[in-house]
Structure 1
Amino acid sequence: MNGTERFAAVLTEAAEVDARLSDPAFLVRGAREDIHALLDQAVSPAARLAAAVYRLSNQDPRRDASPHGRRDLLALAAARFGDRDLSRRISDVPVEGGPDVRWVVDWATGSSGELHRADRPLHTLTGHTGKVAAVAATVLGGRAVAVTGSTDRTVRIWDLVTRRQVGAPLTGHTSGITAVATCLVDGRTVAVTGGQDKTVQVWDLADGRRIGEPLTGHSGAVCAVATAMV
């Protein structure tokens, strides 16, 4: 499977996760372990909102209530986020053995909940086996990506929406990578990397290949890289 095929597979899996989380019936009647397994994988705005609504409802001390109680807590949480349509769609989900909903939330006051703590990263991308020494961001194929360089001598590309690595690591440096920059060259999105091996290397991020030979001349580690039009 090449990089394009892997990228397509990641997008397909992400779409399936988003579809499940965006289904109010799944939030109300789904097994808690199944829902929790998908929360951190939400990508689309609707799915991320649904995940946040579920997390907020789980902060309620009554979270272990019956399924129809869970439905009410979810509807309340959705209203606290300001999404009245989602709140009503949650309230409309039938629950076996429980009464039909007797009320709907039209609006709610109070905090919408803490989506993430300032002292804890929202998401952690893992894969490097050494210290990440340089990071740059760009757009690749219409999607926001991060490009990272590490002391493990690899450059990696990360889709910031799916939070998955794109393609295989880019290898070529013979020692740790200490600097990364991105730019457009002849319409191609490229990364420019500098390393402790005293070289600068240029990479086509679309196909993961190095462009040309390493640029040499420095007599010490390359600690910083920038790009410009001349």
Structure 2
Amino acid sequence: MAAQRLADPGFLVNADPGAVTALLDAASGPAARLAASVYRASAELHRDVTAGVRRQLLALDAARYGDRELSARITAVPVEGEPAAPWGVEWATGSQLDRSLRRIPTPHSTDALLAVATAVVHGRPVAVTGSSVAVAGGSERTVRVWDLSTREQIGEPLTGHTDEVNAVATAVVDGRPVAVTGGDDGTVRVWDLTAGDQVGPELVFPLPVCAVAVVPDGRLVVGFGWEVAVLARR
């Protein structure tokens, strides 16, 4: 009985969280055990949110566990008084989840993923991420590019930042897709996403860079500390 109820996305979304939680330890069979793990992933939030928000959280956590079909089924659950969910989760990383129940590998198993932006390179949709990665003897600050269709990393990590990379933006400059990144090292760097290397020297700021954006005319907007600067190419 518990297995059947836990395998029902409508029950997970709309039932009282206390009633669902009471059944989690009794889950049996792959579908029910996965559903129980998905529910536990954000269990501390479910009691204090609406069913509509719970639907969103559960769909995200199902994708983090690698089950896109379950995520889609959860997204499709009707919630009384709420419109149909306007967004569905295509995929998500899940480095902090129980690895024994994840169905697909995720790219940031040891990373603190701090920023993400999207672009198109050679006709392929990609994600550009900024992170601080734990490695033997310290940490590695990297920018990485991911193929959103295959979920595989493209090329080697883009290195140069000496502290956490916590701001990423993308744009097309002179016909080339580029990424602009900022970090706690107080630098902003521009990367050619086609060639996979840095374009020109880095820009240096007196405080950690917390945000970057690209204006359509090519100007850069940089947030550092409590300040904002706009830079134009010369």
Q: What TM-score do you get using the length of structure 1 for normalisation?
A: 0.47
Larger strand share, 1 or 2: 2
More relative contact order, 1 or 2 (CA 8 Å, 6+ apart): 1
Highest CA radius of gyration, 1 or 2?
1
